[in-house]
Structure 1
């Protein structure tokens, strides 16, 4: 079978995936405006950054741009990010509906679909790394802190430790609250994490099933719709 590629243009990076048939083979992440040398046939592109869409179309004019109209889910609203729609479609197609997807990217998003493939809604807040960056950029004295690999001390005695504690424990408390609300309504519904911080979230919250390829499962789920 011939190899083909799909591209998800994110807010911070480009996410490239190679497929043989409908089998995901490899994933590559590059900076905006750059392309892995192995990409020869780009079949699909989806984007949340219009300027990068134009760049990709200039380099791969035959690639099909995926919009919400191609997503086989009901009740999608026009401003919904295509990345969220693809991720929750991919989760449901791969593992079953209903499902909740928590995407730890530049933005931390929650996306929910019921057993009838109907979009229920979700939520958006600044992602973990965006929160760390914003404190150092918009204050005079606070340091730049990176997401710790392990949970920090809750009660910190230095600015860096206090930032790490405040952001991580507050975000995790919020994620847990969304999980409890989901489980109360859909006790058999599955919950997934994905995105750059998805593995970290799953490490802290064993309820989450981590799959970094949910968006790309969404591309394969389109099947004959495109």
Structure 2
């Protein structure tokens, strides 16, 4: 990210979602929302006057200027029938996806974990599934075997910062990348088939940092900013 791009972003009227490994930001523009994600750094810590609303599923820094009065919790997300244990990130993406289509929807949020969240045609939480995301699976493979490498995720195109691989790689690290991503995409596809057997009108929405790679395999368009759009919708920026 160039310094000029950071300076161009408005300091007021931002939204923040603290994830397990990255912080996700949004700021209003004339065209809608400008969204970006990055690992947390000291310079990213906003003061209360700069933040319209924030939510967190990952660790909140002990020493920060985040205003607790502007924090959204599960109770602030109008997702009907949401159980009290549901993560606010799952509630945000599920509610926004249903707002967008008004139909039964399955949301695959591919982050540190891959969460699958169903919403019925009336906008009510209808259960879901959770499994380890790509980075967690790679770390488990490295930790549980003697010869497989530890793949370190990095920013860039594709999952793990790599371009799309061949379908059947010969190199070990590439085989791990392809195997995990293909497995996650297959899990999403199977969940969608299950959901459509119960509700044929069910739509599928894919979001999260690894969502683009999964969406490509499933022939869909990712929607990486569902959670931030929900935050902005629930706590809109003041008018001019």
Partner of 2:74: 68
What TM-score, normalized to structure 2? 0.78
Distance 1:19 1:53 in 2: 25
* 2:232 aligned to which of 212, 220, 226: 220
* Residue 191, structure 1, aligned to residue 189, structure 2: no
Inter-CA distance 109–75: structure 2 relative to 1 (3 Å threshold): same
State which of 133, 137, 142 in structure 2 corresponds to 1:136: 142
Q: Superposed, which structure 2 residues align to 1:26-37 within 5 Å?
A: 26-36=34-44
Measure how far apart 1:176 and its partner are.
1.4
Q: Shift in Å at residue 3 of structure 1?
A: 5.0
Mapped partners of 1:88, 1:176: distance in 2: 17
CA contact (8 A) 1:24 1:216 kept: no
Matched, 1:41 2:61: no
Instruction: Name whichever structure is richer in strand by fraction.
Output: 1
Gaps of 5+ in 1: none
* Counterpart in the other structure of 1:109: 115
TM normalised by structure 1 equals 0.83
**Please, what is the CA RMSD of the aligned residues?**
2.7
CA gap of 1:59–1:139, structure 2 versus 1, over 3 A, is same
| Residues 141/75 of structure 1: CA separation in 2 closer, same or farther (3 Å cut) | same
Moved over 6 A (4+): none
How far apart, CA to CA, are the structure 1 residues paired with 2:43 and 2:194?
40
Equivalent residues of 2:93, 2:107 under 8 A apart? yes
Matched-pair contact (CA < 8 Å) for 1:33–1:52: no
Report how many aligned residue pairs link the two structures: 217
Query: Using the alignment, how far apart are the partners of 1:18 and 1:136 within structure 2?
Result: 38
Which blocks of at least 5 consecutive residues in structure 2 are unaligned?
1-10, 154-158
